[in-house]
Amino acid sequence: NAGVTQTPKFQVLKTGQSMTLQCAQDMNHEYMSWYRQDPGMGLRLIHYSVGAGITDQGEVPNGYNVSRSTTEDFPLRLLSAAPSQTSVYFCASSYSLSADTQYFGPGTRLTVL
């Protein structure tokens, strides 16, 4: 199993540009989530999904959209990038709930100029 994969590893955007961060898992996990990691802030939950077709907001959802059309994929979309969205983004998955072991991807480092 590849586990949780994320693409791209690095990305530089200009303010106002849009992009999609890709996340996929091959463990047949129902629960998937996106976190952002900023220096001195730990990890903060952006959006999560408890299964295909179901998504919900986390602690810091503004400026981000998600969808879950399949069990495997959970893309994160930035519609109009802002410098405040410069961060490292991690996707995670688990069997069914946030209280199950979370498997994290390797991360995407995003810089917005």
Partner 1 sequence: GENVEQHPSTLSVQEGDSAVIKCTYSDSASNYFPWYKQELGKGPQLIIDIRSNVGEKKDQRIAVTLNKTAKHFSLHITETQPEDSAVYFCAASNGGGADGLTFGKGTHLIIQP
- Report how far residue 80's alpha carbon sits from residue 61's, in angstroms, rounded to the nearest whole number: 14
Among 63, 108, 59, CA closest to 81: 63
Residue 16 CB: number of other CB atoms within 10 A? 10
Least distance (Å) between residue 101 CB and partner 1: 5
Residue 17 or 73 having the CB closest to partner 1? 73
Residue 17 or 45 having the CB closest to partner 1? 45
Q: What is the DSSP string of 42-75?
A: EEEEEEEEEETTEEEE-SS-TTEEE--SSSSB--
Residue 27 or 45 having the CB closest to partner 1? 45
Least distance (Å) between residue 109 CB and partner 1: 9
Applying CB under 8 A, the residues found at the interface with partner 1 are: 4, 31, 33, 35, 40-45, 48, 50, 56, 58-59, 90, 92, 97-99, 101-107
Least distance (Å) between residue 6 CB and partner 1: 8
